């Protein structure tokens, strides 16, 4: 299309109808007249003018693209698509027609069925990529295209577009939010944290950004940082009890159950009938060592909601924390019978059976434990944890071949479940097949580098067998970065240092672990062994005596007693 000077065309467009004989039959005139009329709200006249321009220049894409734009701005998607596609039949690289086509298709993809939406999105991306050109133009195109990339699981492609938006429009908070989404999805969570931190430095009251940052920390299992960020969110909206619950969960996971308890007590004053928070409170009380308070909370819940088996299950957990295993059996056995008689939900009965089985296991009634776990699988076979409990029970009973068979079956049924793979590795270790166990745990860590349990297990297993001690310490240190105060992980690190002969480094983590878990026999034995190497015989004997008085798991009593006797003789 050959354009007339803009001032001349505008002058002609503004003439009264009486001057019609002076109007040239020129496409450029009608093109600009269409823009002028649309600007004055005369949409029908603008459309007519553009159609006149198309008739005069049938081989030009510009008036068709302009017509598509008018239809799009009037929310007439079908007409906009038709006009844009008409323009692209003439010039497939026309940027305006591609912009309109891509924008309309992107809008249409929302709310469609997945297959149809994907088709719209693919066409929209192709059109907007052409419209974007060299990437120095309209930021709106970059934003629309970046959203499509995110929805299409192409976060790496979205990142440079969103970076440009954040750089040129730093006050546009949505740009930073989307950039952080893309960075996290592309496997760069630290970059996402930096993006949101920068945004929140400038806009500290931005609620959505605070929530997103807290959630990224959660995804990374950086519980202390998540808890701190939820606290900032809570200050922005102190009456939001959901935020309080999220903060409490992060505190519990970060090893600060007493702080979680305080947060929940305050939140329950705002929402006293929130059952979920009451359950969480009981769990926080239990983890904080307030077993009496936890039991009182659980029994109050059970009394208020007798039909909710979660109360019974929670009470069982609290009794387990106090080593009251026979009481668990006495509590659950009649409830399980009642649920069966009433044809209760299979999943709920299976949950109670799992808890009963664990109590039987602690009581060393292994056959009954295995029977309970097996029945739970029969009732709820789709739940991986039921299979994990069975594997553990069989291993505890010394039935290693059966445990491995059960683990292999579970692995086939749930090939992607990390907990099942973890349990297979543990079963191999208990069966004395450490090389195979090591491979399983390395595979788990490769698929999820933040699996703190797998990191700790592999590190401890290597240390126990005196192999690759430097690497063992590294694995456990990685686990402790994820869960800094986990006493089992602290014990593993301390024991690894003992195996290396680095007694000065072993002391702080082992002492902390023993203080946190005074009834854990293995940890107390480790502390006793360290004290003996330090020639602190009285403290060694005291630690070993605690080991004998503790839970008794995974220790050889005769061996510990022999250590005590030899230490008393000064040997």
Per-residue confidence (pLDDT) for residue 16, from 0 to 100: 41
Per-residue confidence (pLDDT) for residue 108, from 0 to 100: 85
Span 498-520, average pLDDT: 94
Topology agreement, domain 204-272 and domain 290-381: yes
Rounded to 5 degrees, φ, ψ at 288 are: -80, 0
Span 1-19, average pLDDT: 44
Per-residue confidence (pLDDT) for residue 120, from 0 to 100: 86
pLDDT tens, residue by residue, 444-478 = 999 999 899 999 999 999 999 998 999 999 999 99
* 247 within 8 A of 230, measured Cβ to Cβ: yes
Highest mean pLDDT among 102-116, 134-148, 259-273: 259-273
DSSP 258-282: HHHHHHHHHHHHH-TT-HHHHHHHH
Q: Where are the domains of the chain?
A: 204-272, 290-381, 518-571
Per-residue confidence (pLDDT) for residue 553, from 0 to 100: 81
Per-residue confidence (pLDDT) for residue 115, from 0 to 100: 66
Span 283-299, average pLDDT: 94
Rounded to 5 degrees, φ, ψ at 197 are: -60, -40
Span 428-437, average pLDDT: 93
Per-residue confidence (pLDDT) for residue 6, from 0 to 100: 40
Mean pLDDT of the chain: 91
Span 72-82, average pLDDT: 93
Given a cut of 90, is residue 116 above it in pLDDT?
no
Q: Place 510 in a pLDDT band, splitting at 50, 70 and 90.
A: very high
Distance of alpha carbon 101 from alpha carbon 80, whole angstroms = 7
Given a cut of 70, is residue 11 above it in pLDDT?
no
* 90 within 8 A of 59, measured Cβ to Cβ: yes
Per-residue confidence (pLDDT) for residue 23, from 0 to 100: 59
* 186 within 8 A of 159, measured Cβ to Cβ: yes
Span 411-432, average pLDDT: 93
Task: Identify the CATH number of the domain defined by range 204-272.
Answer: 1.25.40.10
Output the CA torsion sign for 204, 210, 212, 218: positive
Quote the tokens at residue 528: 């006793």
Quote the tokens at residue 338: 């009642």
Span 403-407, average pLDDT: 95
Per-residue confidence (pLDDT) for residue 18, from 0 to 100: 47
Span 173-181, average pLDDT: 96
Q: Cβ of 202: how many Cβ atoms within 10 Å? A: 11
Distance of alpha carbon 425 from alpha carbon 249, whole angstroms = 29
Given a cut of 80, is residue 425 above it in pLDDT?
yes
* 336 within 8 A of 356, measured Cβ to Cβ: yes
* 149 within 8 A of 125, measured Cβ to Cβ: yes
pTM score, two decimals? 0.76
Q: How far is CA 411 from CA 214, 246, 418, 440, in A?
A: 33, 32, 9, 11
Per-residue confidence (pLDDT) for residue 485, from 0 to 100: 83
Distance of alpha carbon 285 from alpha carbon 299, whole angstroms = 13
**Three-state secondary-structure class, residue 506:** helix
567, HSE (Cβ side, Cα atoms, 13 Å): 24
Distance of alpha carbon 161 from alpha carbon 135, whole angstroms = 8
pLDDT tens, residue by residue, 355-387 = 999 999 999 999 999 999 999 999 999 999 999
Q: Place 24 in a pLDDT band, splitting at 50, 70 and 90.
A: low
Per-residue confidence (pLDDT) for residue 22, from 0 to 100: 58
Q: Position of tokens 């044809």?
A: 343
Distance of alpha carbon 174 from alpha carbon 415, whole angstroms = 38
Per-residue confidence (pLDDT) for residue 484, from 0 to 100: 85
Distance of alpha carbon 159 from alpha carbon 150, whole angstroms = 9
Q: How far is CA 182 from CA 103, 152, 205, in A?
A: 20, 11, 22
* 26 within 8 A of 39, measured Cβ to Cβ: no
Span 60-76, average pLDDT: 93
pLDDT tens, residue by residue, 235-267 = 999 999 999 999 999 999 988 999 999 999 999
Q: Place 2 in a pLDDT band, splitting at 50, 70 and 90.
A: very low
Rounded to 5 degrees, φ, ψ at 24 are: -75, 150
Span 134-155, average pLDDT: 92
Q: Position of tokens 């790496």?
A: 156
Distance of alpha carbon 313 from alpha carbon 376, whole angstroms = 14
Pick the CATH number of 290-381 from 3.40.50.620, 1.25.40.10, 2.30.30.30, 3.40.1350.10: 1.25.40.10
Higher pLDDT, 491 or 323: 491
Per-residue confidence (pLDDT) for residue 554, from 0 to 100: 83
Distance of alpha carbon 283 from alpha carbon 25, whole angstroms = 82
**Segments in 397-430 forming alpha helices (H):** 400-413, 418-430
Given a cut of 80, is residue 7 above it in pLDDT?
no
Given a cut of 70, is residue 3 above it in pLDDT?
no
Quote the tokens at residue 192: 């996402």
């Amino acid at each position: 299309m050959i354009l007339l000077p803009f001032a001349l065309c505008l002058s002609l467009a503004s003439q009264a109808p009486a001057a019609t004989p002076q109007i040239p039959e020129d496409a450029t005139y009608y093109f600009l007249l269409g823009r002028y009329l649309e600007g004055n709200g005369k949409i029908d006249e603008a459309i007519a003018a553009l159609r006149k321009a198309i008739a005069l220049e049938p081989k030009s894409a510009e008036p068709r693209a302009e017509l598509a734009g008018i239809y799009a701005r009037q929310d007439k998607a079908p007409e906009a698509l038709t006009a844009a596609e008409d323009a692209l039949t003439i010039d497939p690289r026309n940027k305006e027609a591609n912009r309109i086509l891509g924008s309309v298709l992107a809008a249409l993809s929302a709310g469609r069925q997945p297959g149809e939406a994907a088709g719209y999105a693919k066409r929209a991306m192709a059109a907007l990529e052409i419209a974007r050109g060299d990437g120095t133009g309209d930021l709106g195109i970059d934003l629309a295209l970046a959203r499509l990339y995110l929805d299409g699981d192409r976060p790496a492609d979205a990142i440079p577009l969103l970076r440009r938006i954040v750089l040129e429009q730093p006050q546009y908070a949505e740009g930073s939010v989307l950039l952080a989404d893309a960075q996290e999805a592309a496997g760069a969570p630290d970059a996402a944290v930096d993006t949101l931190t920068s945004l929140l430095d400038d806009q500290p009251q931005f609620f959505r950004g605070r929530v997103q940052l807290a959630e990224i920390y959660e995804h990374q299992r950086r519980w202390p940082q998540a808890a701190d960020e939820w606290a900032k969110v809570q200050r922005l909206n102190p009456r939001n009890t959901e935020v309080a619950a999220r903060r409490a969960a992060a505190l519990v996971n970060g090893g600060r159950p007493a702080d979680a308890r305080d947060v929940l007590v305050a939140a329950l004053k705002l929402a006293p009938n929130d059952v979920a928070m009451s359950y969480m409170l009981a769990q926080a009380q239990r983890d904080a060592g307030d077993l009496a308070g936890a039991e009182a909370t659980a029994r109050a819940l059970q009394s208020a909601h007798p039909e909710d088996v979660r109360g019974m299950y929670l009470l069982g957990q609290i009794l387990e924390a106090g080593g009251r295993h026979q009481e668990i059996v006495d509590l659950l056995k009649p409830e399980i019978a009642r649920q069966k008689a009433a044809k209760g939900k299979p999943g709920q009965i299976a949950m109670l059976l799992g808890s009963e089985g664990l109590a039987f296991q602690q009581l060393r009634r292994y056959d009954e434990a295995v029977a309970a776990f097996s029945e739970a699988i029969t009732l709820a076979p789709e739940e991986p944890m039921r299979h994990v409990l069975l594997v553990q029970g069989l291993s505890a009973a010394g039935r290693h071949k059966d445990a491995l068979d059960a683990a292999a079956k579970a692995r086939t049924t749930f090939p992607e479940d990390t907990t099942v793979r973890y349990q297979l590795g543990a079963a191999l270790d208990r069966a004395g097949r450490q090389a195979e166990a090591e491979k399983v745990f390395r595979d788990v860590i490769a698929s999820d580098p933040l699996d703190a349990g797998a990191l700790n297990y592999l590190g401890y297993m290597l240390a126990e067998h005196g192999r690759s001690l430097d690497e063992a310490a590294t694995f456990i240190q990685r686990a402790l970065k994820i869960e800094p105060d986990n006493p089992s992980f602290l014990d593993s690190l301390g024991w690894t240092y003992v195996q290396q002969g680095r007694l000065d480094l072993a002391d702080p983590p082992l002492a902390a672990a023993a203080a946190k878990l005074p009834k854990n026999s293995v940890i107390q034995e480790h502390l006793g062994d360290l004290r003996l190497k330090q020639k602190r015989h009285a403290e060694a004997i005291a630690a070993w005596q605690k080991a004998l008085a503790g839970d008794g798991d995974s220790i050889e009593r005769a061996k510990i007693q022999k250590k005590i006797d030899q230490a008393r003789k000064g040997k």
